[in-house]
Structure 1
Amino acid sequence: MKFKFLSGLSLICTLWPALAETSIKPQSAYLLPHAEKSVLTDLVRVSADMLVAAGERGHILLSSDGKSWQQSPTPLQSSLNSVYFVNPNHGWAVGHDASIIASTDGGKSWQLQQFLPELDKPLFDVFFTDEQHGFAVGAYGLFYRTKDGGQSWQQEFHAELANADDQAMLAELKDSDPEGYQAELSSVLPHINRVFANKERLVMVGEAGFWAVSTDGGTSWQRQPEFYNGSLFSVSQSAQNTLFAVGLRGNAFRSSDNGQSWQQIALSSPATLNSVVAADGLVWLFGNSGVIFKSQDDGQSFQLIPQTEGKAVLNGITVGKDLVLATEVGIKTVQQVVSQ
């Protein structure tokens, strides 16, 4: 599992069956002898004894210990950007070609649920509240929802996610030029990069300082005032209810009042940050050029973990005293760095 007001302008369009809408047919991923050394973009813990990583060319990898990895067969070669398991059996992965694949056996096998290469837009993240209800998000406000475990997916256009000026323009177009309204919807909505859930609400972040919250499981969203004008790539929350958001050029922020105000975190590297993970009393930042930061005081200060190999780190989790990382050169382990 990942630890990632509906206005009158919202429009829902049914696009199922998505697999039948393209003349380009998906091809199964190649099973490679060293897939654990390929570009990997996400890594999650599914259960106490199972980790799942996802990455380029449709690769899905499984491990019980973070050391030995096996590739699972998948039905496509599209690069995957995110993987999410709602319980130890049921998981989904999303990526390029607006693709969605699903597993019901803990990641051992995967079924194709959506593949739209002619759309030419990637999905960046996926989240489920239970085995039946979930959504996937991506470029240009791409938003698909399912209420039946992914047997069908419906596209939604959440116009309330646009900025104030664009919302006013959309409201005018909706009455005067319905065709122009639908065309503009797909161009003015922001890229949505990551979703995070806590007990009370969902938070998602994206380009140009975009962030929004939902208190009804993602059915409706409320765009929040920007606290930074660059792209945000990840968001998380600590056990102390401190929110963290990270993005371009080493920009990192924390909020101790549920997002009402944000403070920039001073870091010793300007590398772009890809993920923030708050777990077990520690806060980790993972970024380009091999950058890893660790905080033991709820993000008030961060220590840079020295790395000899300056490859981008996309995500990471702790296994015992070690960090297991998804990087641009595959799985990497940093030993004996997890301590209070």
Structure 2
Amino acid sequence: MACSRKWAPWALALAMAVAGVQGPARAAGYVDVLDLPAKPSALAVLSPLRDVTRAGDRLVAVGPRGHIVYSDNQGQDWHQASVPVSADLNALVFANAREGWAVGNDGVVLHSRDGGASWARQLDGRQIGTLVEAHYQALAKAHPDDPQWPAFAAEGQRLVEEGADKPLLGVWFVDARHGYVVGVFNLILRTDDGGNSWVPMQDRTDNPQGLHLNAIHAIGDELYVAGEQGLLLKWQAGQQRFVSLPSPYQGTWFGVLGKPGEVLAYGLRGHVARSSDGGQSWARVNTGVTQSITAASIDSNGDYWLFSQAGQVLRSRDGGLSFAVQPQVPPAPVTAAVQARSNGTVLVGERGVRVLPAR
């Protein structure tokens, strides 16, 4: 099952508030969460989790305080991974059964080479500002008559001055070498060597307001970004940039998913839109709910599933043209979902992990 998840508004506000508390004024003896390994906890699987995905036959989920858990029996039993940070983690992706990446608050990027059992830090917010500033200063020096480069360099300097307080919200890898991370205020970086080095791409997005980028997801060969205030972007290889798509809704989109030939965007207040032409035009889909759609997935039959902030479960059997609320599903908030090999669906959220039997 393909899966996608969203960044809840309350969670983003909390992340930014916590980042402010952890700013320049730090108490004596304070250890930065970027230098503090995640503590082992028997309750990790019952604590809030924000994303879940598959690494081959293994399931891997991430959440606050650096918690990463994995299961080798389709969600029945879970083990806690070895993680070098205690920063809250927001999203993850695996390029294959072994290599995966997770991102989170404080600009952290983690990498696993063993299917999610252990992780190493590749990048964090203490490095991102310097990286952005140096990249755009070099472009400003090479192109002194172009006013955009000093502006981007100034943004990098601001990141340096404010410290590691900018959450990364989404991650996508095309394969084990080529990938992207996205976050608040148009923060976006690309790697072509598996995360050993990163290149800022703020100048490659049609996002002049610097809106938050909530998620990045590929559908076939097409790569999409979902953001706030109706922002939808799509990578155009010919232009080498993420171009803006027309949006039928000016509120926040939390994610996109789909199959070749059809794309769904989902977001606040039950809003869902469907495109059958690669995002060039969209039709609103009546979900029948007013709560925010917080996660979505596609099962092995090709049916779409949506999950609301109130715990409602919706299913579409007609390619996303219509949805019906599923009866007799115990409500609980869901932040991400993925199909287990047993055909059940593994859900994660504020109450940890639960398994929804196949229906």
Residue in structure 2 matched with residue 331 of structure 1 by the alignment: 353
Distance, in Å, in 2 between the alignment partners of 1:53 and 1:307 is: 26
Contact 1:3 1:196 in 2 (8 A): no
Structure 2 SS opposite 1:140: helix
1:126 matched residue in structure 2: 171
Deviation at 1:307, TM superposition (A): 6.0
> How far did 1:310 drift?
3.9
Q: Is the contact between residue 51 and residue 62 of structure 1 (CA under 8 Å) also seen in structure 2?
A: yes
Which residue is 1:112 aligned to? 121
Determine the C-alpha separation between the residues in 2 that align with 1:42 and 1:221.
24
Change in Cα spacing, 1:154 to 1:307, as seen in structure 2 (3 Å) is farther
Give the Cα separation in 2 of the matches to 1:313 and 1:77.
22
Given that 1:2 and 1:85 are in contact with CA atoms closer than 8 Å, whether structure 2 keeps it comes out as no
Match of 1:314 in 2: 335
The one-letter amino acid of 1:149's match is G
Q: Assess, with a 3 A threshold, how the Cα gap between structure 1 residues 27 and 110 changes in structure 2: closer, same or farther.
A: same
Residues of 2 paired with 1:283 and 1:32: CA distance?
34
* Equivalent position SS for 1:161: coil
Q: CA RMSD in A?
A: 2.2
Of 304-313 and 128-137, deviating more is: 304-313
Could you say which residue in structure 1 is the equivalent of 2:317?
A: 296
Matches within 5 A, 1:236-315: 236-238=257-259, 241-280=261-300, 281-306=302-327, 309-315=330-336
Matched, 1:234 2:248: no
Q: Does 1:60 align with 2:81?
A: no
- The residue identity in structure 2 corresponding to 1:157 is Q
1:93 aligns with 2:102: yes
Greater RCO structure (CA 8 Å; 6+ sep): 2
| Structure 2 unaligned blocks of 5 or more | 5-23, 25-30, 127-162
C-alpha distance in structure 2 between counterparts of 1:321 and 1:134, whole Å: 29
Task: Tell me, yes or no, if the aligned pair for 2:246 and 2:281 is still in contact at 8 Å.
Answer: no
8 Å Cα contact 1:243-1:258 kept in structure 2: yes
Decide whether the 8 Å contact of 2:245 with 2:280 is kept in 1: no
Are the structure 2 counterparts of residues 218 and 32 from structure 1 closer, same or farther at C-alpha, using a change threshold of 3 Å? farther
Counterpart in the other structure of 2:58: 50
Q: Distance in 2 between matches of 1:219 and 1:32?
A: 44
Distance 1:28 1:148 in 2: 26
Alpha-carbon distance, 1:327 to partner: 1.1
Bigger share in strand = 1
Name the structure 2 match of 1:34: 43
After superposition, the Cα gap between the structure-2 partners of 1:279 and 1:311, relative to the gap in structure 1 and judged at 3 Å, is closer
> Could you tell me how far apart the structure 1 residues matched to 2:273 and 2:245 are?
15
Q: CA deviation at 1:61?
A: 0.9
CA distance in 2, matches of 1:215, 1:88: 28
Alignment-mate amino acid for residue 293 of structure 1: L
Aligned length: 294
Structure 2 distance, partners of 1:138, 1:157, is: 11
Q: 1:298 to 1:27 in 2, by over 3 A?
A: same
Offset at residue 202 of structure 1 (A): 0.7
Whether the 8 Å CA contact 1:141–1:158 is kept in 2: the answer is: no
Offset of 1:133 from its aligned partner? 1.9
Q: Distance in 2 between matches of 1:225 and 1:152?
A: 33
What are the within-5 Å matches in structure 2 for residues 162-173 of structure 1? 162=207, 166=208
Among candidates 243, 246, 262, match of residue 222 of structure 1: 243
> Does the Cα contact within 8 Å between 1:99 and 1:116 map onto a contact in 2?
yes
Task: Name the counterpart of 1:11.
Answer: none
1-structure distance, mates of 2:347, 2:172: 21
Change (3 A) 1:321 1:103: closer
Partner amino acid, structure 1, of 2:217: F
Distance 2:61 2:232 in 1: 26
The secondary structure found in structure 1 opposite 2:224 is: strand
Q: CA deviation at 1:132?
A: 1.9
* Counterpart secondary structure, 1:88: coil
How many angstroms does 1:268 deviate by?
A: 2.4
Q: Which runs of 5+ in 1 are unaligned?
A: 5-21, 167-187
Contact preservation (8 Å) 1:43, 1:51: yes
CA distance in 1 between partners of 2:247 and 2:125 (Å):
32
Identical counterparts, % of pairs: 34
Name the counterpart of 1:81. 90
Secondary structure at 1:113 match in 2: strand
AA paired with 1:193?
Answer: N
What is the letter of the counterpart of residue 42 of structure 1? Answer: D
Q: TM-score, normalised by structure 1?
A: 0.81
Q: 1:233 to 1:213 in 2, by over 3 A?
A: same
Offset, 1:146? 1.8
Q: Give the residue type in structure 2 aligned to 1:322.
A: G
